[in-house]
């Protein structure tokens, strides 16, 4: 697949676009890296803990962003002279009318969520075709590798709060619920920053390296 992507004639190079989520802000990334007491990340371990369960979705989405940024560096190091590099972009469609929520909430999501074949897919198309997606910003200090569907999205502010896990989970879940109620009034696709922790290169590398070993039996 990668050789075919590198041969792409799309201006600016081919794109690897994934659907992440603003809910990656629920976690700080500590559970995604191996520790001295375990060869595997805590997020990969079975647990009956309520908090572990609540963090699972956030961990999966932060892991996607970690991998995307690590893969970007990997591709750049493999082919530094390529003028048409493969770009990696993560998107957050916010609330979309899917089956992700429990049956008890589905009526609210059907009423307030974006249509999956309309505004809900706008961030994916934006990431696929915007000429700057996956590049540095105009001042070269911002990575344009994260696309959201709402101008009120403020995930990049939560990485500095350093809240206890349970407080962070409660506060951000309430915020996500409020976003569902108003998102249709402020729909707008744009680049933005993800959580502060999602830029942690050490955690990105640790998860990527562990993942490479974990999948070896299946490749």
Task: For residues 122 and 85, give the distance between their C-alpha atoms in angstroms, rounded to a whole number.
Answer: 23
Q: How confident is the model at residue 160 (pLDDT cuts 50, 70, 90)?
A: very low
Of 193, 114, 85, nearest to 148 (Cα)?
A: 193
Mean pLDDT of 10-14: 82
For 68-86, what is each residue's pLDDT tens digit? 999 999 888 877 666 668 8
In tens, the pLDDT along 101-116 reads 767 677 888 888 899 9
Q: What are the pLDDT digits (tens) for 17-34?
A: 999 998 898 899 999 998
pLDDT category at 92 given cuts 50, 70, 90 is very high
Q: What is the mean pLDDT of residues 197-203?
A: 93
pTM of the model: 0.88
Given this model, what pLDDT does residue 120 score? 92
Q: Look at residue 156 and tell me whether its pLDDT is greater than 80.
A: no
Q: Identify the residue whose tokens are 């920053």.
A: 193
Average pLDDT over residues 43-50: 87
Q: Where are the alpha helices (DSSP H) in 79-141?
A: 103-112, 122-129
* pLDDT value of residue 154: 58
Q: Identify the pLDDT of residue 151.
A: 59
Average pLDDT over residues 192-216: 92
Mean pLDDT, residues 119-138: 89
Cα–Cα distances in Å, from 138 out to 82, 142, 143, 144, 155? 20, 8, 10, 10, 21
- How far apart CA 91 and CA 134 sit, in angstroms, is 11
Helix (H, G, I), strand (E, B) or coil at 128: helix
Query: Which CA distances in Å does 47 have to 31, 54, 61?
Result: 13, 11, 19
Q: Quick one: average pLDDT of 147-165?
A: 66
Mind giving me the DSSP string for 183-210?
Answer: GGGS---EE----GGGG-HHHHHHHHHH
d(CA 157, CA 121): 25
Q: Mean pLDDT over all residues of the chain?
A: 85
Q: If 0-12 CB within 10 Å is exposed, 13-18 middle and 19+ buried, where does residue 200 land?
A: buried
Burial 92-110 (b: 16+ CB within 10 A, else e): bbbbbbeeebeeeeeeebe
Question: Partners of 89 in the beta sheet?
Answer: 17
């Amino acid at each position: 697949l990668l050789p075919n992507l590198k041969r792409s004639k799309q201006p600016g190079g081919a794109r690897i676009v994934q659907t992440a989520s603003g809910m990656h802000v629920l976690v700080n990334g500590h559970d995604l890296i191996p520790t001295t007491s375990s060869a595997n990340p805590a997020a990969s371990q079975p647990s009956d803990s309520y908090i572990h369960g609540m963090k699972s979705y956030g961990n999966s989405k932060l892991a996607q962003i970690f991998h995307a940024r690590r893969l970007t560096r990997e591709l750049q190091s493999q082919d530094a002279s390529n003028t048409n590099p493969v770009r990696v972009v993560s998107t957050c469609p916010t609330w979309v009318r899917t089956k992700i929520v429990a049956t008890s909430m589905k009526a609210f999501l059907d009423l307030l969520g974006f249509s999956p074949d309309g505004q809900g897919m706008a961030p994916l198309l934006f990431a696929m075709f915007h000429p700057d997606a996956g590049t540095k910003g105009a001042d070269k200090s911002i990575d344009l590798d994260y696309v959201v569907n709402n101008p009120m999205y403020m995930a990049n502010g939560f990485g500095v709060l350093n809240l206890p896990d349970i407080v962070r989970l409660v506060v951000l879940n309430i915020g996500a619920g409020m976003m569902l109620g108003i998102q249709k009034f402020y729909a707008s696709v744009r680049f933005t920053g993800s959580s502060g922790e999602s830029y942690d290169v050490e955690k990105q590398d640790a998860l990527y390296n562990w993942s490479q070993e974990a999948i070896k039996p299946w490749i």
